[in-house]
Amino acid sequence: SVQGPMGRDVSDTYLLLQAQVNLNRADPFSSLNSLSMPDELIGADLSGVKMAYSPDLGCAPVDNNIKATLLEKINTFKSNFLLSKEDHPDFLDIHECFEIIRGFNFVASHKEKFDLHKDLLGPNVIDNVERGLKYNLADVSWAHVMQTKIYKSFRNFFNEYDVLICPAAAVSPYPHEQLFVDTINGEKMPTYMRWLALSYASTMAIPCVWALPCGLDHKEMPFGIQLIAPAGKDVQLSEIAKSLESVLMANKLTKRPVPEIK
């Protein structure tokens, strides 16, 4: 699922975001932040923005060609920033932490359906529930402690930077009949979710994220980048996204590819 707005460009997406946000006292992640977003989004001055970038966040399996593409794209626009440096947060034991928390969340959400109607469930739901049932209370306790450490490590990283940029996906677009990516750079993925580590690593630190189109990859397929910042920086990150979008659109190597639909 996509828990956030999508649009034709940053301004369009921001407009939908304004319509979606609100203060919901039933949601522990809701905050007054949502009520302080400006009506009109004004782009940031990138010459005052400190940018870190990483092809793999130091923990995610990423196709080598996608890594190279990210670095090529960064080289076309990094001069617009006050600082640009290849760096990433320490995500510690992110994979095990994610698998445990995802597993017990699936047990909480789907255990009854799993018990009564397993034959109607998809293989991925079954896999997650079965994985979750193998964990014990000590595993869950460890995962909560580890996520707190990841969160703090992530926040500390942004004492030095304003935004972190990485690829939006670990591989080039693949056939929709394929349920998930099982191999990257010849290495078999240990779980069906591992290829999504570029997304779930930062998600475990409760960030705000924009995803922008950034030209084409090595296969002439659409390539995207994530702009990542810590929780509470939604407005600042949106302002950076708006300005960077203009920079990307001005260069044929990074502008949004528009399909010829007849």
Domain boundaries, the chain: 45-87+160-256, 90-154
**Among 148, 141, 254, residue whose Cα is nearest residue 206:** 148
Model confidence over 153-191: pLDDT tens digits?
Answer: 999 999 999 999 999 999 999 998 998 999 999 999 999
Average pLDDT over residues 19-48: 85
Q: If pLDDT is split at 50, 70 and 90, which confidence band does 2 have?
A: low
Say if residue 56 is exposed, middle or buried (CB neighbours under 10 Å; 0-12, 13-18, 19+): buried
Model confidence over 200-240: pLDDT tens digits?
Answer: 999 999 999 999 999 999 999 999 999 999 998 999 999 99
Could you tell me the sign of the dihedral formed by the alpha carbons of 13, 17, 19, 20, in that order?
A: positive
Average pLDDT over residues 89-104: 96
- The CATH classification number of 45-87+160-256 equals 3.90.1300.10
Place of tokens 């793999």: 56
* pTM given for the model: 0.92
What pLDDT, on the 0 to 100 scale, is given for residue 1? 40
Question: Is the pLDDT reported for residue 69 higher than 90?
Answer: yes
Does residue 52 contact residue 229 with C-beta atoms inside 8 Å? no
Place of tokens 């010459």: 47
Return d(Cα 89, Cα 218) in angstroms, integer: 27
Mean pLDDT over the full length of the chain? 94
The per-type count for the chain, helices as H runs and strands as E runs, is 7, 7
Q: If pLDDT is split at 50, 70 and 90, which confidence band does 83 have?
A: very high
Question: Is the pLDDT reported for residue 30 higher than 80?
Answer: no
Model confidence over 194-203: pLDDT tens digits?
Answer: 999 999 999 9
Indicate the SS3 state at residue 183.
strand
Element (H, E) at 102: helix 94-117
Does residue 66 contact residue 73 with C-beta atoms inside 8 Å? no
What pLDDT, on the 0 to 100 scale, is given for residue 106? 95
